[in-house]
Structure 1
């Protein structure tokens, strides 16, 4: 592993930010979080009066960002624009402490993380993630520090480990203890924590090669089927029969290939709901009849049918999602010199500094290069 300095003669504290909801005007909570997350993803509210649900803290040490986040229901979108810009080229390990997150990486790879779940995400792939009110511990690690990162990327952009899995049993205690220790750690101690969790995660990835590759079997055929379905979501009758005719296979083959997706009907429904959420988040002014047109466009039989499935999946109705997005447009007076704004810009710079060090299709280190250091000293 390159770049970690385990000795710290300066005794400087680790670089830290904290968003304390008691010290931020309520009308500005969402805007502050949008600024902090700007280099990672677009942030939209899924409820009116979006707030931090507790003290949300971030730590930066030698290119690695740790975070403890408590937020209201949120929609995160990492777009091709974020990826083309080259910021935040990392793998993100998240421990779901409370609430629920679900989403899609790229066009097809769905995931769900109830409390206790560990999720490893590859940020070289666009994603759409929605949450209920939640609490998450996370660490963002530059790709070039993880030799096993090439096992993910497009082939497997998101991995979920259940609480009783060997990976969770190893990683969860270390991640939680690290976040606890960072409150009083020096910069040198924080570097050691980062080196430890990075080394362990890399070892687990490299040791899991056979498990990861088992998910690639018949991937090309499944990929073609998923692309076909995504191009025909507006057809309300879309289903297994379409694939049987198009790919000259049996229904049993279709069901087997989509077993990991929860079935073909579940896959189609999730794809349609994700497209609807994306449309809602893009709309500035919503015209009369928008939700009826949305339902028709994406293959739902009616607005009521869309609302029922949308509510079951996201926990809110399409109308509530529209109202939540509208309620936060140009909200609040910004005090750009306030401490919380300075902290938001610091977090954004930390994520921005996680720049590419190796191609995501190759093992880290293939291009050589050096680690980027922090762009600021702790405490500044």
Structure 2
């Protein structure tokens, strides 16, 4: 049973950070955001002169981190290294207010979130996410506070709820009202807000019929097919016929299984583009001919063919992505005593404090562990 120290903390202010673009040197915006996000993901710019687009705020209360983020186009990559360290073992609920995000969790669970979409992400799974310039409200909740978290993990690592869904109609008002109220809330009031949204989300997860009654046989077959496609992306002729021969099924079966992916051709193209972005982020400095080799390696007919699809999907060209990745190596000089750096380290510690409390494969109540707070809550 989750406990709240309302009597002890009701008069204290809620722990908060704020990145005000007017108070941060423009050359340091991206570096500050990288530091704040480092426990959650690697951050790269997808445009020149990356900036905060408005006041970006974070609040910590009773183990839960709320955030209101306004940023330029960004690439976020959560790697197995982040997960092995045990940092940020949480589920993250995001409300897309402006802009667009899309990405992949694990090897083949894609999602897309235009404005108004609500997305629930399981951070026990590696991901690659790209955004246009965007505004998002979010709450990061430790896994052990959500009994229904075991229904996600590898089988359902990302869930998307449309604006007219029952889940969105329930969650969006309480999330937006909570973020508005946190500006003036005491720590005790903020604890109550966190308890309310955590309890509501947990109830929705445990009552989700699709999660509880997954068609395991069909999903296992689909996963086998997706794994096969992921291993053969370099084959330019890869398509439905390959799956029909490999899995002894009809084209109609293949089309039905991939219907929710937007079709098999769409799935293959997204997989190839995600692999290309991962390679670009990993390389940083590239040699002449790299983009031609990249196109050939991942099944594109030419560099121009890759560039056309890459621009349509990410909004930038492969060459621009290479230049953005290269900028990661040229961090500006840090004035470590500036308030924005202290806030960046505080946010990083808050996320780091969301430590494992239960195995993702078991219900959250299967382990007793006490909640852990951040390593610092005051003094900055």
Q: TM-score range by the shorter chain?
A: over 0.9
CA RMSD of aligned residues (A): 1.2
Give the distance between the partners of 1:240 and 1:6, measured in 2 at CA. Answer: 58
Give the distance between the partners of 1:4 and 1:91, measured in 2 at CA. Answer: 21
Worse overlay, 332-341 or 101-110: 332-341
Structure 1 contact 310–318 (Cα < 8 Å) conserved: yes
Give the distance between the partners of 2:33 and 2:112, measured in 1 at CA. Answer: 23
When residues 210 and 301 of structure 1 are mapped into structure 2, their CA distance, relative to the original with a 3 A threshold, is closer
Secondary structure class of the residue paired with 1:124: coil
Secondary structure class of the residue paired with 1:7: helix
Give the distance between the partners of 1:210 and 1:244, measured in 2 at CA. Answer: 27
Give the distance between the partners of 1:299 and 1:310, measured in 2 at CA. Answer: 13
CA drift of 1:374 comes to 3.6
Structure 2 contact 284–322 (Cα < 8 Å) conserved: no
Give the distance between the partners of 1:199 and 1:142, measured in 2 at CA. Answer: 12
Secondary structure class of the residue paired with 1:220: helix
Give the distance between the partners of 2:213 and 2:281, measured in 1 at CA. Answer: 35
CA drift of 1:320 comes to 1.1
Residue 320 of structure 1 is matched in structure 2 by 320
When residues 363 and 209 of structure 1 are mapped into structure 2, their CA distance, relative to the original with a 3 A threshold, is farther
Residue 216 of structure 2 is matched in structure 1 by 216
Unaligned runs of 5+ in 1: none
Q: Which has the higher contact order (CA 8 A, sep 6+)?
A: 1
Q: Which runs of 4+ in 1 moved over 4 A?
A: none
Within-5 A mapping of 1:323-334? 323-334=323-334
Structure 1 contact 151–209 (Cα < 8 Å) conserved: no
Structure 2 contact 6–188 (Cα < 8 Å) conserved: yes
When residues 57 and 379 of structure 1 are mapped into structure 2, their CA distance, relative to the original with a 3 A threshold, is farther
CA drift of 1:209 comes to 3.6
CA drift of 1:365 comes to 1.6
When residues 313 and 9 of structure 1 are mapped into structure 2, their CA distance, relative to the original with a 3 A threshold, is closer
Give the distance between the partners of 1:243 and 1:210, measured in 2 at CA. Answer: 26
When residues 262 and 143 of structure 1 are mapped into structure 2, their CA distance, relative to the original with a 3 A threshold, is same
Give the distance between the partners of 1:16 and 1:32, measured in 2 at CA. Answer: 16
Unaligned runs of 5+ in 2: none
CA drift of 1:322 comes to 1.0
CA drift of 1:11 comes to 1.5
Structure 1 contact 2–371 (Cα < 8 Å) conserved: no
Structure 1 contact 35–344 (Cα < 8 Å) conserved: yes
CA drift of 1:331 comes to 3.1
Structure 2 contact 206–212 (Cα < 8 Å) conserved: no
CA drift of 1:6 comes to 3.4
CA drift of 1:372 comes to 1.2
Give the distance between the partners of 2:205 and 2:10, measured in 1 at CA. Answer: 34
> Does residue 25 of structure 1 match 2:25?
yes
TM-score, scaled relative to structure 2: 0.98
Structure 1 contact 118–160 (Cα < 8 Å) conserved: yes
TM-score, scaled relative to structure 1: 0.98
Give the distance between the partners of 1:3 and 1:88, measured in 2 at CA. Answer: 21
Structure 1 contact 62–374 (Cα < 8 Å) conserved: no
When residues 211 and 369 of structure 1 are mapped into structure 2, their CA distance, relative to the original with a 3 A threshold, is closer
Secondary structure class of the residue paired with 1:32: helix
When residues 293 and 146 of structure 1 are mapped into structure 2, their CA distance, relative to the original with a 3 A threshold, is same
Worse overlay, 136-145 or 6-15: 6-15
Aligned length: 380
When residues 92 and 375 of structure 1 are mapped into structure 2, their CA distance, relative to the original with a 3 A threshold, is same
CA drift of 1:10 comes to 5.9
Give the distance between the partners of 1:215 and 1:23, measured in 2 at CA. Answer: 52
Secondary structure class of the residue paired with 1:53: coil
Deviation string, structure 1 residues 247-286 (Cα, Å, up to 9, x no partner): 1111111111111111110000000000000001111211
